[in-house]
Structure 1
Amino acid sequence: MDVSTTLWVLTIVGLAALIAVDFFIGRKPHDVSIKEAGIWTIVWIVLAALFGLGLLVFGGGQPAGEFFAGFITEKSLSVDNLFVFVLIMAKFSVPSQYQQRVLLIGVLIALVLRAVFIAAGAAILSSFAWVFYIFGAFLIYTAWKLIQEARADESEEEWEENKLLKAAERRFGVADRYHGTKLWIEQNGKRVMTPMLVVMLAIGTTDVLFALDSIPAIFGLTQDPYIVFTANAFALMGLRQLYFLIGGLLKKLVHLSYGLSVILGFIGVKLVLHALHESGVHVPEISIPVSLGVICSVLIVTTITSLMASKKQAAAEAAQKETEGAPQDSVEAGRPQA
C-alpha cells in the first residue's frame, strides 16, 4: 500500500487527537465503572472497524484484510498482557481511582516504543529477507514456550521489576507514598519520583517485552509499516477500558495461552513459508482470508472452552466445600444444647 507523507501525518495527528480526548475524559481520578468501560471499549472497536472500512474503500480488500487480521491478533495478545498489568497494579498497591491514569500514560509510553520497534523492523525486513526465517522460528519457539507456561502451575506467579526500572529507582529515588497524580515531588530537599511515575514506567517498559512477540506476529500478516502501526495503535488505545471491563473475566480465560500459542505458531509457519517463497522455493503461501479465519476461529473456540472449564471448576469447588462442611454441620447439629 502506497502511503504518502501527508497521510502518515494526518494519521498520527488523528491518533494524537483521540489520545487527547481519552486523556481529557479520564483526567479526573475516579473508579471506572463497568458501564463506562463497556461504552468506551465499544467506541474504540467501532473506530478501528471504521478505519478498516476506510482502508477497504480507498485501498482495497488486501490492506483492509491485513489490518483486521493484525488488529484482532494484537488485541488478543493485549488481553494476555492484562494478566501482567493486574500483577503490576497489585505489586505497587495502586489505588483504584488512579489506575485509569496509570494505564493511560503507560499505554502511551508503550505506543511510542512500539513505533520505534515497527520502524526498525520494517527497515530490517526491507533490506534482509532472511530475517523472516528468524521471525518465524522465534514465533514458533514462543508458541511452544506459551504452552509450557500454561501447563505449569502459575499459582505462585509474581511480577518482578526489570533492570531499567530498578536503575531509575536507584538514580532518582522513590517517595514512600502516592501524592495524588503527581509524578515528582520534593522530599528532604531532593526531587524524587512518586510511586505513580514508577508504575507508569513499569506498564510502559513491560509492554516492550510483549512487543517482542507481537511485532514479529503482525509482520507475519503484513509487511506494510502503515498497517502494522495503525493495527498496534488501535489495539493498544482501547486497552485501558478493556482492563476494567474484563478484569474479573481474566481468571476465567484459562485456555487463552493455548489459543495464543496456536495463533503465534500458525503465523510463525506462515512467515517461514513466505521466506521460502521469497527465496525461490515453490511452496504454498497462506492468504490473509485464511489467516483471518484461523485467528478468529481459534479465539472463539478458546473463549468457549475457557468459560466451560471455569464453570466446571467452580461447580467442582462448590461441591467439595459442601462435602467438607457436611460432617462438621452434623457434629454441630448433634451436640446437646447448653
Structure 2
Amino acid sequence: MASDRPPRAPRHRHPERDGGARAVPQRHQALIPALLSSLRPRQWVKNLFVFAGLIFGHRLFTPLVWPALGAFAIFCALSGAIYLLNDVADRDKDRLHPTKRLRPIASGRLSVPAAVTAAVVLVAAGLAAGTRLGHAFVGVALAYAILLTVYSAWLKHFVIVDVLVVSAGFVLRAVGGAVAVDVEISGWLLICTILIALFLALGKRRYEYLALGEAAGRYRPILAEYSAGLLDQMIAVVTASTVTAYALYTMSPETVAKFHTHLLPATLPFVLYGIFRYLYLLYARQLGGNPSELFLNDLPLLANTVLWILAVLALIYGPRLG
C-alpha cells in the first residue's frame, strides 16, 4: 500500500556551516602544536638549576625529591608563560628576523589572545600549585614571573642590565629549588649560578651581534649598544670569575666540612673542559645563539656535563653512603 506522505526533499549541505564544523577541530589541532612550540620545552633544561639545592643540600635520596620535581614543573610553566608574553611583545620585530619570523605568534599560527590567555592560565596554575610548597616558594616564583615579565616589557632595552636580569632569573630558579626542599641557600650556590648564567647570556649576545651583522640593532635594538670587543672582554671576565669561584668553593673549609671530602677539586677539570668547549663552539664554530640547544645537541658538552654530575654525586654522597 503506497504511502500518502510526500517524498522527503533531499538534505542539502550548507558548505559554510559544514565546513566550519570541520574547521573547528582542525583549528584546535593546529593550535596545540603551535602553543607547545611557543612554550619552548627544549628551553626548560634551564630549570634544572632548581635541583641545585636538592643535590648540594644532601636531600637527593630523600622524599624531598618530590617537592623538587614539583618546583621544576612550576618553573617550566612559568618560563613557558614568559616565552609566550615575550613573543607577543616582540612579534613585529620577529617578523623581520630570518628565523624568528617562523615562530607561531610571529607567523600568525598562534593568535595573540590565545597566547596571552595561555600565559595567564600557566602563571595562575603555577602559583596556585606553588602554595603546596609553602609561601616562601610562592614568593620566589612570583618574583621570578614579575621580573621576567618586566624584562620582556622594559628591562631588556637597557645595556648590561639585560644580561644581569637574565642571570637573576637563573638565581631565582636555584633559590626556589632550595626553598622548596627547605635547605639553606648557599652563597657559593648563588655566586656560581649567576656567573655561569652571565657566561651563557653574554655568549648568546655575542653570537647574535655577529650573526645579524649590521642589521642586529633592527632585530634586537639593545645589540646596537654592544660591540664585539666589549662582549669579548665581558666574557673573559666572567669566564675567569666562574672558574675561580668554583675552584674556591671546592676547596673552602665550609665545603670540606659539609661534604666530608677534600676531593671536590678533582671535578674542576670537568668545569674547565665544559667552559673551553663552549668557548670553542662560540668562537670557532660560530654557535651559541641557543645555549639550551647547544647543550642538548653537542655530544662532547653533554657527556662532559653528565660526567661532572656523576663525579659530584659520587664525592658528596659517597662518604654518607659509606
What's the TM-score once normalised by structure 1's chain length? 0.31
TM-score normalised per structure 2: 0.32
Report which structure shows greater RCO (CA 8 Å, sep ≥6).
1
Structure 1 or 2, whichever has the larger Rg, is 2
